[in-house]
Amino acid sequence: MTETLRPRLGTRGSPLALWQTEQVALRLKQQLPGCEPQICVIKTQGDRILDLPLAQIGDKGLFTQELETALLQNEIDLAVHSLKDLPTELPPGLALGAILERHSPHDVLVSQGHLQLEDLPAGALVGTGSQRRRTQLMQARPDLVFQDLRGNIQTRLNKLDRGDYAAIVMAQAALDRLQMSHRISQVLPFALMLPAVGQGAIGIEISEARADLKTVLSALHDLPTGLACSAERAFLRALGGGCQTPLGAYALFSAESPEQLLLYGYLSSEDGAHFWRDRIEGPATEPEALGRQLAERMKAQAGPLFH
């Protein structure tokens, strides 16, 4: 029980990651009187290598592997992640202990002059490190020029402000959480930009052996978010779970049938020249089956172009 009252929370060191971890610490304190969480900052490969595009260094576990190693070696008790960074296949011995209530999953445009996407001048330079964002923007505005952009939220905003880019694309949840919502020029609709799997949600990873933490975290888990993200993660897993193929997904409960989940999927060739969008609806009690079904359907649509 002592370990439960003084849990060590592993996190990356960015302002956003620390904000997320402080939220988890606060909820643990509310759940367990006398709980004093300890925050342990761990630098990941994705934090160290900032001079290469994500696609070149591989995105599987890029922001999570060191945290998972610390969990396996009992150096921390919990690892707090942006769920979109967490691979769909966890290392043996680790489990997803809870997913907190999701914030907005939207992507947003942040631009000089507060311009919206349709108002950016032809040939404008847009910064993003995400193939998913790049290909979807290409399909909406093929005249734009894209350049890789890495670094934490403030670093990316600083590069925009000094004129390196006409616009950059970010997650709305990140800007909202850091009280920078005023920087948003446009919230990109899902019809234009489907988000990364799990975007806007915080995931807490633990050792499977920690029954004490499983009990505590069950009270922090948000069931609707968990079901939606399970469908999205199953979709990603069935398509290769962290491959370089640009893809996005978003699941939500049907307004007409509250017990049904709607899952939207996006899949593109790496150059953005070919892309597919589809949706599926099914019982919210079977989110993983729903994700797999949509993935198989879209793979069939893509045929030999998908690899």
Taking a C-beta distance cutoff of 8 angstroms, is the pair 89, 162 a contact? no
Q: Two tokens at 295?
A: 């993935």
Q: How far apart are CA 82 and CA 184, in angstroms?
A: 20
Q: How far apart are CA 97 and CA 69, in angstroms?
A: 16
Give 39's strand partners.
Answer: 9
Nearest to 106 by CA among 227, 188, 186, 185: 188
Instruction: Answer yes or no: 85 catalytic.
Output: yes
Say which of 85, 148, 176, 271 is annotated catalytic.
Answer: 85
Give residue for tokens 């670093």: 155
Q: Two tokens at 159?
A: 């590069």
Q: How far apart are CA 127 and CA 130, in angstroms?
A: 9
Q: Two tokens at 221?
A: 């888990």
For 173, counting Cβ atoms within 10 Å of its Cβ (0-12 exposed, 13-18 middle, 19+ buried), the class is: buried
- Sorted by sequence, the CB contacts under 8 Å of residue 89 that are 6+ apart come out as 237, 241
Q: How far apart are CA 307 and CA 129, in angstroms?
A: 21
How far apart are the two ends of the chain, measured CA to CA in Å?
A: 48
Using CA atoms, how far residue 94 sits from 69, 88, 206, 232, in Å, is 10, 12, 6, 20
- Position 5, amino acid: L
Q: Which positions are annotated as active-site residues?
A: 85
